[in-house]
Amino acid sequence: MSFEKNLLQMKKLIKKKPATKQSVAPFVTPQKPSYSKAWEDEGLSIVENKFGVVFEKKIVYAPEHVHGDFKLKEIFEAFTLWNSFKGEHPISTDGKKIVFFDTETTGLKGTGTYIFLIGQLTWNEDHFEMTQHVLADPSHEAALLYECGLWKPGQTVITYNGKSFDWPQLQTRWTLNREHLPILADPIHIDLLHGSRRVWRNELDQFKLVHLEVEKLGFKRVGDIPGHLAPIIYMDAVKSGVPTTLLKVLHHNEWDILSLLTLFIHSTKLILQEQYNNSSVSSTNIGKWFSDLKDFDKGQSVFEQIIKEYSKTEAAQAFYFLGFEYKRRKQMILAYEAFEQSLINLSDVFQIQAYEELAKIAEHVKKDYLAAQVHVEKAVLLIRNTKHLKPLQKERKNWAFDKRLKRLVNKQTISRASARFDRK
């Protein structure tokens, strides 16, 4: 019997059993914690739903409320700016159903890490409203997740490092409770950490929110609880039933979320401002961001404003990126001039790239082979002395410049020979 026939015979012996749908065990509502009254006495409200209880704290802010250098109502100016913006941008929003969102957790990762505090700031008719939901104890986790309302569609969530931390943590906890909870929504998510790194790269040494508050938002915390102590404080509050210190964690979370709102205001005004005169570094970063988003007109406009507003030394990086914008538009002489101007104050790695671009234009556009050779030789010298390139990178660049140099020497030899022939 052939192999194929054997397989057919065996298939007949296999009886497929119909798939049975596994039944979901009914949810058993956990008992209210014994310390509920003590936590209520400290100002937390009890909210009950079909999954258990959640402790809740609400704070109302008038539009005129000031946090650092900003009034909360300035957020509407930011929304207006984005609504009038014609392009696309990672932090743009229409301003509808905005939720400023932050969590506190019992750890950094793993299925044993619980979210014990979810804070959200929204606009409610004529005031801003902060809602903080606190996990009563781990058995009431489904109640906390349900009550936060993030399963409702159509929201835009604004966080700080939320794409890497807060939202993945929420997804993990939601997955572990998926049998009973509605499906978690997939909202538009704006993570201001990424935007802050783009705007203040090379200007700030660190990007912790508390550092940004001091450096850029005009806010300095007094009496704050360090974030790494929050899990210990929560565990102690559940164990002892005394939430006094836990309320300081809620205050820490409140500051985080208010700073999220003011950071959004400040970032928007910097990105969409009429005059880019805040700082040459941040303004150049913003222009580069527009160029990376393929909004070349806006990027070029920003760079051209910078070279008018600042000294040539301060505007060196803007000249460098402007060179690429001119080159993209085939304005090679302007590109050449911009790359030359940029050399006054660039790091060695950027200088190497600038000399390469100068050599290309000198060789292929200006047909000035001697000038191109000079640019190549200067780049080779920088490659030899720089400490910012790895050995393999140096090797590759040296090979490319050596190839270009040989070609330029050869072209000059041919050019001289041709000139002698013409004279004869």
Residue 203's domain is classified under what CATH number? 3.30.420.10
Tell me if 344 is assigned to some domain: yes
pLDDT at 227: 87
pLDDT at 274: 77
Choosing from 251, 271, 291, the residue where a domain stops is 271
pLDDT at 111: 74
Residue (of 58, 59, 62, 57) closest to 126 by Cα position = 62
pLDDT at 15: 59
pLDDT at 423: 58
Q: At what angle do helices 280-292 and 246-271 cross, to 10 degrees?
A: 80
pLDDT at 23: 65
Is there a single domain that holds both residue 174 and residue 318?
Answer: no
Contact 290, 299 (CB under 8 A): yes
pLDDT at 73: 97
State the DSSP H helix or E strand holding residue 48, giving kind and residue range, or none if neither. Answer: strand 45-49
Is there a single domain that holds both residue 185 and residue 309?
Answer: no
Tell me if 332 is assigned to some domain: yes
Tell me if 107 is assigned to some domain: yes
pLDDT at 247: 96
Is there a single domain that holds both residue 146 and residue 250?
Answer: yes
pLDDT at 300: 96
Choosing from 218, 244, 271, the residue where a domain stops is 271
Tell me if 19 is assigned to some domain: no
Is there a single domain that holds both residue 189 and residue 306?
Answer: no
Q: Which domain holds residue 171?
A: 36-271
Choosing from 250, 271, 292, the residue where a domain stops is 271
Is there a single domain that holds both residue 348 and residue 234?
Answer: no
The count of structural domains within the chain is 2
Q: State both tokens at 304.
A: 């051209």
Query: Which of the residues in the chain have pLDDT under 50?
Result: none
